[in-house]
Amino acid sequence: MAASDSKKTRREFIADGIRTGGLIIASGAIGALAASSHAEDTVWQIDPYKCTNCGLCATSCVLDQSAVKCMHAFAMCGYCNLCSGMLRPERVGNTIEAENVQCPTFAIQRSYVENPYFQYVIDENLCIGCAKCSKGCDAFGNGSLFMQIRHDRCLNCNQCSIAEVCPAQAIVRVPASKPYLLKSKIKQDG
Amino acid sequence: MFQKLTFPFFLLQITTPPQKNPPPDFTTGYQYPVTINPPARAELFTRIDMVMLAILMLMTAYFILYRRSRREVRLISLFSLLYFGFYRHGCVCSVGSLQNVAMAIFHNGYALPLSVGVFFILPLLFALFFGRVFCAAVCPLGAAQDLILQKARRVPAWLDETLSVIPYVYLGLGTLFAATGTVFIICEYDPFVAFFRLNGGAMMITFGIIILFLSTFIGRPYCRYLCPYGVLLRWAAAWSKWKVHVAPEKCIQCHLCAESCPFNAMRMPVPEEVRPSRKSTRAVLARVLWLIPLLAILGGITGRLASPLLSHADITVQTADRVWKERHGLVQGETLESQAHRANQIPDDVLYAKAVKIRRTYALYATLFGIWLGLVFGLKLFFITTRRRWDDYDADPAACVACGRCFGYCPSEANGEFAGQGVYIQGNLNKRGQMRN
């Protein structure tokens, strides 16, 4: 900086120094972030192994219909005839009448595969993310139904309003390139 | 078909937990249905956002500082409100990004994404050179308030000075909770985001309506009396190279520019006879100066004492407290948190150890927060008592949000001889705000 410039006051000289310093720090910081492999955008996701299926996802999301939906790990499912994710424990008989099923919107569709196995598919348009089915599946089944944030719906709020209230602190930031935490293997005990 | 259940799977599951219903070996060549997982939209959009941010700020700087025109800036405001606000739902914004930065610096295990870093740094960098052009038109929160402002009422000086301390407190608190990884309160209590998403809790919508209602007759109440990022922008803009100036060499002291500024950002000349003498200023200063370290120490002690209370904002601390009370029979029943803790089969001691660690972090950061508060109050007193007195009307670069309203009010400028000339952008004004040749 031209300190010899007689027109320059001390205040202007300091200001020039601050601006130059700011420019160097800012470009250094942005450059370091751009070069860093960790500085990837993050999105929110539910860690299915921490999730306790409390049901707050359905009502805590900023969206009218939560971005959280139930997903099904087909490779893990037992294809039970008597699915505890679909049917309530306190049911009367084993029919899929409204009083017997877990899902309040009937988003689980059941179809016959082969004796004695049945396939269960979640209709995402109907699912409201209440976690009743995944809770049932966790309790008596093997947990192949689990909750995930669907990224075609999620607004990716800087502070996820479900994460704020999640009692199990199961909602975590994950890299945007790997936005799902899927259950592929059967949960290890302990 | 459902009545013909042949095998009690139900009982089998309860008796042999580790081998719960393994996937069957199908004999009919059954294929698993394919699940489509939509990718996160973040990557592409955040890149567009960063470019938008830079372009809009450059445009605002050009129209305000070079063309000295407000009309285009209003259009940019509208665009920012629609794009960053309603289309991108207000996330991520520079105001909230300061929490991400605090968390990346102080909290382990969080890497700052590039886009968030750019949203934090770029407006500050622009403020260092062009003043608060980000506030002028690019910030959707500022744009929302600015566009609905009808007739600004002047906030009394005592109230204005008092309320202007809140952003510093909010900045400290937001940083404290972000640095400890607890919660992003600045995002949680953003009054506009409910409107951007056309959705939100009753409390936040009420808060938003109140702020928007106030914005119609008080200039930018959120920016002036709440915005924590505005504090950082003030610091940067105070040193800005090119800033908004009212025509100084032809100032006829008509007071119109000060009337036109809805944000109380115009410095007004103080007549020689009412200025305090150097001696009396020095006496007041001597009284105030020793208060600053005293307030800082007091604040630090208070922060330390309040740290257990503050740490209760953290859900791990809450859970540990609850579980401990339940274990010792001090409370009845379970909360969702203590249920979740048991369901995940984490030993209580592990939870307690985690909570103790968080409390220790809080003890440190709450102390720093207290010191910060003490310094803020002390320095506020200092600046009130030692205010510099100005000879001419001109915009205070720290408070000016570069909206450009004053340009049209200046009679010296009204004939248009300055517009488009760029006379004020060359940094060729001396410290009294007069033109150098």
Summarised one tens digit per residue, pLDDT across range B172-216 is: 999 999 999 999 999 999 999 989 988 888 888 999 999 999 999
CB B104: neighbour CB atoms within 10 A?
A: 22
- Compute the distance between CA of residue B416 and CA of residue B15 in angstroms, rounded to an integer: 89
Evaluate if residue B159 carries a pLDDT over 60: yes
Q: What is the ipTM of this complex?
A: 0.86
A188 belongs to a structural domain: no
Whose structure tokens read 């025509």? B247
Please report residues of B whose CB lies closer than 8 A to that of A63.
197, 199
Please report residues of B whose CB lies closer than 8 A to that of A42.
42, 113
Interface of B with A in 266-285 (CB under 8 A): none
- Compute the distance between CA of residue A118 and CA of residue B2 in angstroms, rounded to an integer: 11
Predicted pLDDT at B415: 57
Looking at residues B57-66, what average pLDDT do you find? 92
3-state secondary structure of A114: strand
Are A18 and A60 found together in one domain? no
- Which pLDDT band, with edges at 50, 70 and 90, does B399 fall under? very high
A60 belongs to a structural domain: yes
How far, CA to CA in Å, does B384 sit from each of A147, B160, B161, B288? Answer: 55, 12, 9, 10
Average pLDDT, chain B: 86
Predicted pLDDT at B27: 86
Evaluate if residue B15 carries a pLDDT over 50: no
Token pair belonging to B360: 């220790």
Average pLDDT, chain A: 88
- Compute the distance between CA of residue B180 and CA of residue B358 in angstroms, rounded to an integer: 8
Least Cα separation, residue B346 to chain A (angstroms):
9
3-state secondary structure of A174: strand
- Which pLDDT band, with edges at 50, 70 and 90, does B14 fall under? very low
Predicted pLDDT at B249: 63
Verdict on whether the full-model pTM lies above 0.90: no
Q: Locate the chain A residue with the closest alpha carbon to B40.
A: A151
- Compute the distance between CA of residue A112 and CA of residue B373 in angstroms, rounded to an integer: 66
Are A87 and A100 found together in one domain? yes
3-state secondary structure of A113: strand
- Asked if B436 reaches chain A (Cβ–Cβ under 8 Å), the answer is yes
Are A29 and A122 found together in one domain? no
Least Cα separation, residue A164 to chain B (angstroms):
7
CB pairs under 8 A between A and B: 210
**Total domains, chain A:** 2
Q: Which residue type is seen at B11?
A: L
Specify whether the CB–CB gap between B296 and B371 falls below 8 A. Answer: yes
The phi and psi torsions of B130 (rounded to 5 degrees) equal -115, 5
Of A9, A50, A71, the CB nearest to B344: A50
Please report residues of A whose CB lies closer than 8 A to that of B336.
52, 54, 56, 167
- Give the DSSP H/E element, type plus range, for residue B351: helix B348-385
Please report residues of A whose CB lies closer than 8 A to that of B243.
none
Contact A167 B239 (CB under 8 A): no
Contact B3 A141 (CB under 8 A): no
DSSP 8-state symbol, A149: E
Looking at residues B29-55, what average pLDDT do you find? 86
- Compute the distance between CA of residue B271 and CA of residue A82 in angstroms, rounded to an integer: 89
Looking at residues A150-164, what average pLDDT do you find? 92
Predicted pLDDT at A7: 63
Least Cα separation, residue A105 to chain B (angstroms):
20
Best to test chain A binding among B41, B107, B129 (most A CBs inside 10 Å)? B41
Best to test chain B binding among A57, A83, A158, A169 (most B CBs inside 10 Å)? A158
Evaluate if residue B373 carries a pLDDT over 50: yes
Please report residues of B whose CB lies closer than 8 A to that of A157.
89, 91, 187, 193
Are A22 and A88 found together in one domain? no
Least Cα separation, residue B256 to chain A (angstroms):
29
Specify whether the CB–CB gap between A18 and B239 falls below 8 A. Answer: yes
**What digits encode the pLDDT tens for the residues B255-279?**
888 888 999 998 888 777 777 777 8
**What digits encode the pLDDT tens for the residues A115-152?**
889 999 999 999 999 999 999 999 888 889 999 999 99
The CA dihedral of A31, A34, A38, A41, to the nearest 10 degrees, is: 130
CA-based nearest residue to B418, from B61, B66, B62, B72: B66
- Asked if B125 reaches chain A (Cβ–Cβ under 8 Å), the answer is yes
Evaluate if residue B5 carries a pLDDT over 70: no
CB B257: neighbour CB atoms within 10 A?
A: 24
Please report residues of B whose CB lies closer than 8 A to that of A96.
2
The phi and psi torsions of B87 (rounded to 5 degrees) equal -80, -45
Least Cα separation, residue B284 to chain A (angstroms):
25
- Compute the distance between CA of residue A182 and CA of residue A144 in angstroms, rounded to an integer: 10
Specify whether the CB–CB gap between B322 and B352 falls below 8 A. Answer: no
| Beta strands, E only, B208-298 | 266-267
A131 belongs to a structural domain: yes
- Give the DSSP H/E element, type plus range, for residue A69: strand A68-72
Q: Which of A148-157, B16-25, B168-177 has the highest mean pLDDT?
A: B168-177
Contacts of B227 (CB under 8 A, 6+ apart): B95, B141, B167, B170
- Helix B42-61 × helix B114-130 angle, to 10°: 0
Please report residues of B whose CB lies closer than 8 A to that of A85.
none
With a pLDDT cut of 70, the percent of chain B lying above it is 88
**What digits encode the pLDDT tens for the residues A88-110?**
988 888 888 888 999 999 999 99
- Compute the distance between CA of residue B47 and CA of residue B54 in angstroms, rounded to an integer: 11
Contact B40 A43 (CB under 8 A): yes
Are A158 and A80 found together in one domain? yes
Looking at residues B233-245, what average pLDDT do you find? 91
Please report residues of A whose CB lies closer than 8 A to that of B125.
22-23, 26
Specify whether the CB–CB gap between B164 and B158 falls below 8 A. Answer: no
Most distant CA atoms of chain B, gap in Å = 102
Interface of B with A in 326-365 (CB under 8 A): 335-337, 339-341, 343-345
Token pair belonging to B164: 């202007």
Interface of B with A in 241-260 (CB under 8 A): 241
Of B5, B100, B125, the CB nearest to A81: B5
Are A62 and A116 found together in one domain? yes
Contact A41 B199 (CB under 8 A): no
DSSP 8-state symbol, B409: G
Predicted pLDDT at A186: 44
Evaluate if residue A6 carries a pLDDT over 70: no
Q: Distance from CA of residue B410 to its chain's centroid? A: 32
A31 belongs to a structural domain: yes
Side-chain half-sphere exposure of A123, counting CA atoms within 13 A: 12
Structural domain boundaries in chain B: 52-265+394-414, 278-385
Are A93 and A105 found together in one domain? yes
Are A29 and A66 found together in one domain? no
How deeply is A123 buried, as exposed, middle or buried, from its count of CB atoms within 10 A (0-12, 13-18, 19+)? middle
Q: Which residue type is seen at B343?
A: A
The range of the structural domain enclosing residue A20 comes to 9-39
Of A80, A161, A189, the CB nearest to B9: A80
Please report residues of A whose CB lies closer than 8 A to that of B183.
159, 164
Are A120 and A158 found together in one domain? yes
Looking at residues A8-19, what average pLDDT do you find? 87
A4 belongs to a structural domain: no
Are A35 and A46 found together in one domain? no
Token pair belonging to B376: 């803020």
Predicted pLDDT at A159: 92
